[in-house]
Every structure is written in structure tokens, then in C-alpha cells.
């Protein structure tokens, strides 16, 4: 399975350690993949900054490199504030490229979970659906702090 990852531009210098660890361990949004199936990253880049101008073009390159799914990194839902375009990006990529899009990579770190719960950031069905793949349980969230 070949995967592309798009991260929030605020984190463009991120080395991807939590994403790659979660992929290797099949944690967070990567738990949907069979542990016996090899996963390969074929692209890792930022959205290009608000409003995400890089999203359109990076997906095309990732698909040329064999991507079968695009993950929008966990940082897009845990940043302060979360990406206001993440749901649009998901819909846009699915419609334009006819490829599976998963919101999230690694489990949400507990420290971000606590803050967003206190701020009531993720109120509403849309946000609950967006964070679902990376919600995990408290023990796993603490391992990603």
C-alpha cells in the first residue's frame, strides 16, 4: 500500500517521526491497514500554507508515484486552531483524484486532546468524524505526547 501524507504548513519543518512511528505500528489512522501489508510513503509535504494551494498539485505527484491513499496529517486537526479547510481538502482530493483520503496519521497526543476538549474545539458531528481515526484511547494518546 502506497501512501502520501500532507501536513499543515505550520509544521513544515516536522521530520514526521510520530507519523512514521504510527504507520510502522499501525496506530492512529494507520490501524485500518492490515499489519501483514507493507506500507510505503511515496510523498510527504506541506499543504503550502493557508488556504492550502499546494494540495491540488502535490496529490497529482503522489499519485504518479503510486499513492493509493492520501493522509491529511493529524496536525491539521490538533493545531491551534485546527485547519479550517481540512474537510474541504478531503472532499476536493476525493472528487478530483478519485483516491481514498484519510484525515489523520498518528494518534492525537493527550496534551492536545485535553486542550481541545477544554476549548470545545471539536464540537459538532463534522469534527467528531474528522478526529475519529486518530482519537485512540488515553494510554495510546499519552504515548504520543
Claim: this prediction has a pTM higher than 0.85: yes
Does residue 6 contact residue 55 with C-beta atoms inside 8 Å?
yes
What pLDDT is attached to residue 141?
98
What pLDDT is attached to residue 113?
97
Distance, CA of 98 to CA of 114 (rounded, Å): 35
> What is the residue-level pLDDT of the chain in tens, covering all 145 positions?
999 999 999 999 999 999 999 999 999 999 999 999 999 999 999 999 999 999 989 999 999 999 999 999 999 999 999 999 999 999 999 999 999 999 999 999 999 999 999 999 999 999 999 999 999 999 999 999 9
What pLDDT is attached to residue 119?
96
What pLDDT is attached to residue 91?
97
For 6, the 3-state DSSP assignment is strand
What pLDDT is attached to residue 78?
96
Domain carrying residue 94 = 2-143
What pLDDT is attached to residue 97?
97
Distance, CA of 66 to CA of 121 (rounded, Å): 35
Domain count across the chain? 1
**CATH value at residue 11:** 3.40.50
What is the separation of C-alpha 25 from the centre of its chain, rounded to a whole number of angstroms? Answer: 16
What pLDDT is attached to residue 110?
98
Amino acid at each position: 500500500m502506497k501512501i502520501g501524507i500532507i501536513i499543515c504548513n505550520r509544521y513544515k519543518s516536522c521530520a514526521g517521526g510520530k507519523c512514521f512511528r504510527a504507520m510502522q505500528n499501525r496506530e492512529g489512522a494507520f490501524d485500518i491497514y492490515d499489519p501483514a501489508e507493507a506500507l510505503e510513503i511515496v510523498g510527504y509535504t506541506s499543504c503550502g500554507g493557508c488556504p492550502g494551494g499546494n494540495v491540488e498539485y502535490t496529490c497529482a505527484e503522489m499519485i504518479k508515484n503510486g499513492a493509493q491513499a492520501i493522509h491529511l496529517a493529524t496536525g491539521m486537526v490538533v493545531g491551534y486552531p485546527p485547519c479550517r479547510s481540512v474537510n474541504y481538502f478531503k472532499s476536493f482530493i476525493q472528487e478530483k483524484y478519485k483516491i481514498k483520503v484519510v484525515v489523520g496519521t498518528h494518534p492525537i497526543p493527550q496534551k492536545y486532546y485535553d486542550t481541545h476538549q477544554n476549548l470545545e474545539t471539536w464540537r459538532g458531528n463534522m469534527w467528531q468524524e474528522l478526529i475519529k481515526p486518530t482519537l485512540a484511547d488515553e494510554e495510546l494518546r499519552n504515548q504520543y505526547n
